[in-house]
Every structure is written in structure tokens, then in C-alpha cells.
Structure 1
Amino acid sequence: MAGKPADYRDVHIGSLIEERRLRAGLSREALATPLDVSLSQLGKYLKGANRLSATDLDILARVLGVPVGFFFESMPGRDPPQPGLSDRPQARLEALADWTGFAQAVARAADTHLDEDRRQALGSLVRAVDHALSGQQPFDKANDSGPSD
């Protein structure tokens, strides 16, 4: 059974692949070889006459050094993306009023769920962030004289 016929989306994707190929200075053979297709078939993909499979699109994205989503981001006629579950608005950290409660919750979670090495690593990270936010220089073993003024 044949797949769906190619349409304007396939033309768009093909033109982006060709554009990225030229920018990267790659030959058509460099794209056809990993796909295991002839140059003629690659030409049909680049013109949008034939539809690429998801697997082939993934291969081309890797060869061209772009994420697969690159081919869809500027798709004509596409509605702007709506926030997904992972894109819900986040509260700004400085807007959190009860930092002490937050710090206590993190400490309790670390004590409950982390081994000693990971607790130490988390403590080092928190101290580094605290130093960075307060403008202090972090302690450096090579320079143990403390921060310079």
C-alpha cells in the first residue's frame, strides 16, 4: 500500500534540507549515502515530490546537525505552538516569598532521597549559587586567602 501523496509540507521540508546541505557544503551523495537511496530519489525528496519517512528525516537531521523539529518550526500555515504540559508558566524565583520553607523542603528531600556523596554535591552547588548571587568569590583551594576586595 502506498503512503499519502506529498504536499506543501514535503516541499517545505525538502527545501530546508537542500538549504542546510548547501550551507554545510555537503554533496548530494553525502545525504543519499546514509539514506541508502539513489541521487534521483534524493532529488525527489529535496523537491518535495516524495515524502520522507520519520526514520529518514531523523537520519538527515543528524547528518545536517539540526534537531528533527527544525524542519517543522517554520512550517507555513501552522498555528503558533500552544503551551504543552512541560511548557506551563513558571513562577519567577525571586517572587517566591518563603525561601526558608523552600530551603527546608530541599534539605528534607536531600536527607530522605540522596546518599552522602550526592548530599555533599548538592550542598556544594547550593553554596556556589549562594556565593554567586551574593557577589562573593567562592573559596578556591589555590587561593585560600579568601575573597579580595
Structure 2
Amino acid sequence: MAGQKTDERDVLLGRRIAEQRKRSKLTQRAVADSFGMSAAQLQKYEKGVNRISAIHLAILGRLTNTPISEFLDGIPHPDPETERGFSESGQQSYAVEPWSDLARAIARQFVETFSEDQRRELSAAIEVLSRELKS
């Protein structure tokens, strides 16, 4: 990212990136390919020589099944005297509950695949299953 000097935060983030990549048994080449860049460029991110973009961090999070917050939590604020900004308070998960994204994807598939009658039957079966699981 042109014009931005890196600092100790970039070095710390780079270490976390490298650690998580290794834990996930991914090579620099595999991650770099998913970023559309060279392994040498990824190595610069991992060493904190270059600052990684939010987009690449999000891609890495998906590749390693790691929330972005795990990369960023505890990284020091550049100016400790500055009041916390809007983005620095605790963030709520995008999903209301852990299964909501899966439920939406399944529902979309059912709407596209099954008739209204079939969907009603499925809905009734799910309600029965839900009651049984709660008892």
C-alpha cells in the first residue's frame, strides 16, 4: 500500500499471519496464489515489511478458518492517548447465531428446488423435530 510506512504493528500482524498459515498447513505459494501475488510479496507481509490490505486479511481468514479479529486483537493502538473510535468497540458477529448462514443457504436451495407443498411438509417435519429435541 503505497506511501504508508510500516511499524511494529505490521510486524506483529505479520507474525500472526505466518503462524496461522503454518498452523493451517498452507504454503506461502498456496496463500500467495489465492491473493493473486508472488510468494515474495506474501513474505513481505509476514515480516511486516509491507502492510497487508483488509481484503487480503479477509481472504486469509477464510483460507485458515480464522476470524479477522484473531489477527488484530491486542495489536496496540498507534496513539494510546486517542479515544476509542467507533470501529474499536467490540463488534458483534455478522451471524445472529452460528447456524443462520447455513439455514439461509438451505432455505434458498429448498425454495429453488421444491414445490410449495413439499416446503410445507418439510417445515412441519422440522417443527416436530424441534419439539422433540427440546423435550
The reply to whether TM is greater than 0.5 is yes
Root mean square deviation of aligned Cα? 3.4
Contact 2:29 2:38 in 1 (8 A): no
**Highest RCO, 1 vs 2 (Cα 8 Å, sep ≥ 6):** 2
Offset of residue 69 of structure 1: 4.1
With structure 1 as the length reference, what TM-score do the two structures score? 0.52
Offset of residue 42 of structure 1: 2.5
Offset of residue 133 of structure 1: 2.5
Question: Deviations 1:44-74 (Å, cap 9, x if unpaired)?
Answer: 21121211123322333344343444323x2
**Deviant stretches of 4+, over 4 Å:** 82-87
Question: Deviations 1:74-105 (Å, cap 9, x if unpaired)?
Answer: 23347561558977xxxxxxxxxxxxxxxxxx
Offset of residue 16 of structure 1: 1.1
**Taking every aligned residue pair, what percent have the same amino acid on both sides?**
33
Seen in structure 2, the aligned counterparts of structure 1 residues 129 and 81 have a Cα distance that, compared at 3 Å, is same
Greater displacement, 62-71 / 120-129: 62-71
Structure 2: runs of 5 or more not aligned: 78-87, 97-115
Equivalent position amino acid for 2:74 in 1: M
Offset of residue 18 of structure 1: 0.8
Tell me the residue number matched to 1:13: 13
Matches for 1:23-42 after TM superposition, within 5 Å: 23-35=23-35, 36-39=37-40, 41-42=41-42
Seen in structure 2, the aligned counterparts of structure 1 residues 80 and 3 have a Cα distance that, compared at 3 Å, is same
Structure 1: runs of 5 or more not aligned: 88-114, 135-149
Is structure 2 residue 131 aligned with structure 1 residue 130?
Answer: yes
Equivalent position amino acid for 1:32 in 2: A
d(CA) in 1 for partners of 2:25, 2:51 = 24
Seen in structure 2, the aligned counterparts of structure 1 residues 55 and 80 have a Cα distance that, compared at 3 Å, is closer
Tell me the residue number matched to 2:74: 75
Seen in structure 2, the aligned counterparts of structure 1 residues 43 and 132 have a Cα distance that, compared at 3 Å, is closer
Matches for 1:136-147 after TM superposition, within 5 Å: none
Which structure's CA Rg is the greater one? 1
d(CA) in 1 for partners of 2:94, 2:39 = 41
With structure 2 as the length reference, what TM-score do the two structures score? 0.56
d(CA) in 1 for partners of 2:133, 2:62 = 37
